[in-house]
């Protein structure tokens, strides 16, 4: 009744087809993420939700890298990416192009993720920060807002690849993408 | 305007307080998860969303373990857990206690996560499987259903700790827990 599907039954598309499908109007900015495992997982999640592009900034490692590949399982070949040394300069550039930068951070005046409603027609740059320091305050300062994942426990902190998954899922859901299926 | 909060401003509760707060009526079952990093991340996510308990089954490592701790950051001390050698026996036992087992898997007749509506009053056991093999078919066979995370890309596969984050977020959201805030 609940027979597991074979890989061949998953309607997976090729990296070539992936280039041509409609993308979710979201780019990811990884601000000085240290772990290549987290970077690889971000590629895999971005591939799953058809995110437009990943910007790897600062100390982020870049493909090709066997460590990134181990977590990305090849998704680093489907999802477009660019390296930028300085996150702040990148965010200013994207903002000038009309993209709305939002940092995922626990800040004053943050919007709880469940209350965040993406505006139709807008493209968002979602910024995730270093495993220990989070998104740099200088980057947060030029964002149009911050999104916070509400939490109830002792830690108030999720692994950054988990945060990326949760936020992308919620945003992609609210963009109505999933409900077409 | 978006000043980052200090740890002391996060309303984090102590492990002792955590024992006493109302829990989300969900338990996690980890079916033969190989990576201690994934197990640690599961603890951290379970702590964030106040999940009742984690069942570690089969080849799963258990606390105390420095590898689990590195990813859990101490959440393995707040969230209750139990080890069971055999996942199938555990699922049968929980089912007999009235808990509804659902495997997170890509199967025939799966419910897409965005369409899954938890029933009020029910307690769920959400089962996540091995990094390569997923949830065992024998375990899937005795579940009351399967939940699938819809995906659009080349891989159709998320890191298991990312899947746990996405599914718990969605279920916790739909249980209305977040909207009280």
B107–A3 CB contact, under 8 Å: yes
Would an 8 Å CB–CB cutoff place B97 in contact with chain A? Answer: no
Q: Which residue of B has its CA nearest to A136?
A: B4
Give the pLDDT band of residue A181 (cuts 50, 70, 90): very low
ipTM of the complex: 0.96
Coarse DSSP helix, strand, coil percentages of chain B, rounded to the nearest 5 percent: 40, 25, 40
Which of B73, B114, B169 faces A178 most closely, judged by CB atoms?
Answer: B114
Residue with tokens 């505006």: A119
pLDDT at site A176: 82
Distance CA A57, CA A60 (A): 6
pLDDT at site A178: 63
Would an 8 Å CB–CB cutoff place B117 in contact with chain A? Answer: no
pLDDT at site A160: 98
Distance CA A59, CA A36 (A): 10
Q: Which residue of A has its CA nearest to B13?
A: A154
pLDDT at site B61: 98
A178–B137 CB contact, under 8 Å: no
Q: Which CATH architecture has domain A24-180?
A: 3-Layer(aba) Sandwich (3.40)
Q: Which CATH architecture has domain B17-149+157-180?
A: 3-Layer(aba) Sandwich (3.40)
Would an 8 Å CB–CB cutoff place B164 in contact with chain A? Answer: yes
The H or E element spanning position A4 is none
DSSP A181: -
Mean pLDDT of A151-171: 95
Domain boundaries along the sequence of chain B = 17-149+157-180
pLDDT at site B181: 44
The 10 Å Cβ neighbour count of residue A98 is 8
The 10 Å Cβ neighbour count of residue A120 is 8
B153–A13 CB contact, under 8 Å: yes
A3–B108 CB contact, under 8 Å: yes
pLDDT tens across the length of chain B (181 residues): 899 999 899 989 999 999 999 999 999 999 999 999 999 999 999 999 999 999 999 999 999 999 999 999 999 999 999 999 999 999 999 999 999 999 999 999 999 999 999 999 999 999 999 999 999 999 999 999 999 999 999 998 899 999 999 999 999 999 986 655 4
Q: What is the pLDDT of residues A82-118, one digit of tens each?
A: 999 999 999 999 999 999 999 999 999 999 999 999 9
User: Burial level of B64, CB count in 10 A (0-12/13-18/19+)?
Assistant: exposed
Mutate to test the interface with B, among A153, A160, A169 (most CBs of B within 10 A): A153
Written in H, E and C, the secondary structure of B39-103 is HHHHHHHHHHCCEEEEEEECCCCCCCCHHHHHHHCCHHHCCEEEEECCHHHHHHHHHHCCCEEEE
Residue with tokens 């996150």: A87
Residues 9-68 of B with CB under 8 A from A: 10-15, 17-18, 21, 37, 41, 44-45, 47-50
**Percent of chain A beyond pLDDT 90?**
92
The 10 Å Cβ neighbour count of residue A80 is 14
Mean pLDDT of A40-58: 97
Residue with tokens 């959440």: B75
The 10 Å Cβ neighbour count of residue B67 is 13
Q: What is the pLDDT of residues A112-148, one digit of tens each?
A: 999 999 999 999 999 999 999 999 999 999 999 999 9
Q: What residues pair up with B84 in beta bridges, in sequence order?
A: B57
Distance CA B158, CA B160 (A): 6
pLDDT at site A134: 97
């Amino acid at each position: 009744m609940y027979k597991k599907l074979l890989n061949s039954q998953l309607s997976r598309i090729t990296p070539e087809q992936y280039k041509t499908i409609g993308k979710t109007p979201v780019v990811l900015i990884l601000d000085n993420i240290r772990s290549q495992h987290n970077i690889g997982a971000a590629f895999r999640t971005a591939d799953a939700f058809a995110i437009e592009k990943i910007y790897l900034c600062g100390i982020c490692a870049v493909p090709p890298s066997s460590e990134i590949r181990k977590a990305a399982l090849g998704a680093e070949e489907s999802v477009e990416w660019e390296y930028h040394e300085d996150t702040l300069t990148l965010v200013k550039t994207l903002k000038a192009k009309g993209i709305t930068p939002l940092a995922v951070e626990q800040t004053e005046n943050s919007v709880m993720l469940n209350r965040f409603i993406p505006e139709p027609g807008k493209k968002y740059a979602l910024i995730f920060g270093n495993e220990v320091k989070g998104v740099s305050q200088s980057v947060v300062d030029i964002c149009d807002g911050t999104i916070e994942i509400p939490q109830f426990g002792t830690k108030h902190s999720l692994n950054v690849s988990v945060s990326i998954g949760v936020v992308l899922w919620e945003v992609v859901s609210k963009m109505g993408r999933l409900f077409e299926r």
